[in-house]
Structure 1
Amino acid sequence: MSTLTVPNQVPSMSEDCEQLRKAFAGWGTNEGLIISILAHRNAAQRKLIRQTYVETYGEDLLKALDKELSNDFERVVLLWTLDPAERDAFLANEATKRWTSSNQVLMEIACTRSSNQLLQARQAYHARYKKSLEEDAAHHTTRDFRKLLLPLVTSYRYEGDEVNMTLAKSEAKILHEKISKKAYNDEDLIRILATRSKAQINATLNHYKNEFGNDINKDLKTDPKDEYLALLRATVKCLIRPERYFEKVLRLAINRQGTDEGALTRVVTTRAEIDMKVIKEEYQKRNSVPLDRAIVKDTTGDYEKILLALIGNGDA
C-alpha cells in the first residue's frame, strides 16, 4: 500500500551521496536532483545514505539539507529523510511544545502505529530529548486530554487477529452505558480504547452498532464544539479506520483559506510508505477529485513536486 516508487536498479549509496553533494555545490541548490534521489528511496535506503554521507563527508546529511533548503520544501525533505521512529519523536515533541487541545498529533502517532513502532518512537524520543514522551505529554496536557493521551502513548497493544466475542459484547455495553450518561472521560471507556487490540476494538464497535443502532462516533457527536469529544472521535477513527482519519486531515489541510502545509507535509511523509494508496482512494471517493490534483491546485514549485513524488504521482 506504499506509494513510493523505488527504481529497480538503485545506485550505490556512495553514488547517491556524491549526487547529493553535487546538488549542494556551486551557486544555488539543485532541488530537482535532491527530489530525484531522496523521494525515490525507502526508509532503509535513506538510513544508509545518511550513514554513508557522514562517513564520506564528515557532515550529517540533515545538517547539509538544513543549510541548503528553506520553508515547506525543507520541512518535507527533512521529515522524509529522518528514520520513521525519529520522525515520530520529532513530531510528537513539536506537538507537546505548542499544545492546543485540538492538536491531535500525539493521539495520531499513538493510535496509527504498530505497538513496536510506537515503542521505537518513544525510545527515539529518549535518545533525542533526554526525557520521555509520556512526561512531556503529561506536562503539556490537562484534565480529560491528559487522562486519554497518557494511556494511549504508553500502550503496547496485542497485534493479533484473535477476538473474544463475549468481551466485545460486554465492553460494547459498558461503552454504551458511559456514553448514554455523557461520562466521556470514564476510566473504563478510556481503558477499552487505550488497551485493547485493534481487532478487539473493531469487534466491540461493530457489536455496539448492531446492538444500539448507532455508530459510536455518531453518539460521541452530541456537542460538535467539544474539543475533547473531537479527540475521542478521532481516536476511534485512527484505531479502526485510519485512512478515513487521514483523508479528513488532508481535506481540512487543503480545502481551506490558505493551505495547512504542516498537516499536509506530516500526512504525506508519515504515510507514503504505509497506506497512502488507500488514503488516496478514500480522498477521491470523498472529494470527487484525485489527491494529486488537489495538491497541484494548492501548492507550487519544489514543494509540490516532492509531495507528488511521495504520493506516487508525477515524474519527479
Structure 2
Amino acid sequence: MATLKVPPNSPAPSEDSEQLRKAFQGWGTNEALIISILAHRNAVQRKLIREAYNVAYGEDLLKDLDKELSSDFERVVLLWTLDPAERDAFLANEATKKLTFSHWVLLEIATTRSSIDLLKAKQAYQSRFKKSIEEDVAYYTSGDIRKLLVPLVSTYRYEGEEVSMTLAKSEAKLLHEKIAKKAYNDEELIRILSTRSRAQLAATLNHYKDEFGNAINKDLKTDPKDEYLKLLRAAIKCLTFPEKYFAKVLRLAINKLGTDEWALTRVVATRAEVDLQRVGEEYQRRNSIPLDRAIANDTSGDYEKFLLALAGHDN
C-alpha cells in the first residue's frame, strides 16, 4: 500500500523537466517547485522526467539537483529520484563503506524486496560498481554475519502462495532443535531462512509457535546484545512482517534525542511506493501518534515538506 499521491493528470515529462530547469535558474533555487513535481511522481514518471531532462539540456538531472540542494533535503530528493533498483544498489554500496557501514541496510534490501526487485538491484549494482553485491557483502562482513547475509543477498525466492504443510511441520521441528541447542548459526537454519518463500516461512513459523509455545523470535532473544542474533531476528521480521520492522526503525530514528535522518530518509524513500501506509498504521498502533505528526514534530523546512509529501500528507 503506497502513500504517494500522484495527480490523475500529471504534466508530460518534458513539461516537468522544463519546470525543474526553471527551479534551478534565477536567484536561489525554487525548492517548493521541486517538491511539487518530484514528490508527486511515481517511479516510471521520474525515470521519464530524467530522460526528458537529459534530452532537452544534455545534463543529468541528478547532478543538477546535487548542485542546487544541500543536507537532508538533498539526500531525500536524490534517493527518491533514483530508479528503485539504482537506489537499492547505491544504498547497498554505501552500506559496505567504512564510514557508512550497515548490516541493517544490507539485510533490508535482501529480505524486504521481491525476488525480481532484488535481482534488478543486483544488476544495477554490477552495472554501476563493476562488481557484484554478493562479493562486496562477503568481503566487508565476517563470521556469522557473513554466513547469514551472503545467502540472503544471493537468493531468488519463489513468490507464490503455494505452501507445503508437511514441509512446514518438519522444518519447524528442525528450527526448534537447532535453537534448543543454541546452534543459531547452523547451516540448515540459515538455509530455511534464505531459500523458502515468504508464504512457506510464514506457515513454518506459525507451526513453530503452535507446536512449541513461543514465537521463534522470543526463543532467539537469549542474548539481547548479541549482534548476530539481533540480525537473525530482524531477518525473520523482515521476511514475515516488514511493516513491523520498518515501524521500529522509524521509532528509533524519530524518538532519539537527535533524529537519525539517514534511517528516516531511507525508510520513507524506499517504502513510499510499497507499504508506507501499512508501516504508518503499525507505527501509530505502537506509538500512539500518527507517523506524519511524528515526522512533522521532528523535522523542519523543505526536508519535512518532502517527507510528508511522500507519506501522503503534504497539505
Q: TM-score range by the shorter chain?
A: over 0.9
Q: Which residue does 2:303 correspond to in 1? A: 303
Q: Is 2:21 the partner of 1:21?
A: yes
Spell out the pairing of 1:61-140 with structure 2 (5 A cutoff): 61-98=61-98, 103-140=103-140
- Offset from partner CA, 1:195-246 (integer Å, 9 cap, x none): 0000000000000000000000000000000010000000000000000000
Q: Which residue does 2:207 correspond to in 1? A: 207
SS of the aligned residue for 1:224 comes to: coil
Mean Cα displacement is larger for which, 103-112 or 184-193?
103-112
CA contact (8 A) 1:24 1:30 kept: yes
CA contact (8 A) 1:35 1:306 kept: yes
Q: Is 2:273 the partner of 1:289?
A: no
2: CA distance, partners of 1:235 / 1:117: 17
1: CA distance, partners of 2:159 / 2:73: 36
2: CA distance, partners of 1:100 / 1:274: 25
- Offset from partner CA, 1:257-305 (integer Å, 9 cap, x none): 1000000000000000000110010011000000011111110100000
Q: Which residue does 1:144 correspond to in 2? A: 144
Q: Which residue does 1:157 correspond to in 2? A: 157
Change (3 A) 1:101 1:165: farther
2: CA distance, partners of 1:43 / 1:133: 23
1:199 partner letter: A
CA contact (8 A) 1:112 1:239 kept: yes
Q: Which residue does 2:241 correspond to in 1? A: 241
2: CA distance, partners of 1:58 / 1:294: 40
2:256 partner letter: R
Change (3 A) 1:101 1:206: farther
Gaps of 5+ in 2: none
Runs of 4+ in 1 over 4 A off after TM superposition: 99-102
1:259 partner letter: T
- Offset from partner CA, 1:21-65 (integer Å, 9 cap, x none): 000001110000000000000000000000000000000000000
Gaps of 5+ in 1: none
2: CA distance, partners of 1:35 / 1:241: 31
1: CA distance, partners of 2:98 / 2:254: 22
Cα distance, 1:98 vs. partner?
A: 3.2
Number of residue equivalences: 315
1: CA distance, partners of 2:310 / 2:81: 12
Percent identity (aligned): 75
1: CA distance, partners of 2:314 / 2:51: 29
- Offset from partner CA, 1:99-152 (integer Å, 9 cap, x none): 788631111111000000000000000000000000100000000000000000
Cα distance, 1:13 vs. partner?
A: 1.0
2: CA distance, partners of 1:30 / 1:216: 51
CA contact (8 A) 1:101 1:228 kept: no
2: CA distance, partners of 1:98 / 1:227: 18
CA contact (8 A) 1:243 1:279 kept: yes
Q: Which residue does 2:257 correspond to in 1? A: 257
CA contact (8 A) 2:53 2:59 kept: yes
SS of the aligned residue for 1:257 comes to: coil
2: CA distance, partners of 1:237 / 1:100: 23
1:40 partner letter: H
2: CA distance, partners of 1:100 / 1:161: 37
> How well do the aligned residues superpose, as a CA RMSD in angstroms?
1.0
Change (3 A) 1:171 1:214: same
2: CA distance, partners of 1:250 / 1:54: 35
Change (3 A) 1:99 1:191: farther
2: CA distance, partners of 1:285 / 1:241: 14
1: CA distance, partners of 2:51 / 2:83: 12
2:257 partner letter: Q
SS of the aligned residue for 2:95 comes to: helix
2: CA distance, partners of 1:100 / 1:54: 30
Q: Is 2:131 the partner of 1:167?
A: no
1:163 partner letter: V
2: CA distance, partners of 1:225 / 1:29: 46
SS of the aligned residue for 2:19 comes to: helix
Spell out the pairing of 1:2-81 with structure 2 (5 A cutoff): 2-81=2-81
CA contact (8 A) 2:94 2:100 kept: no
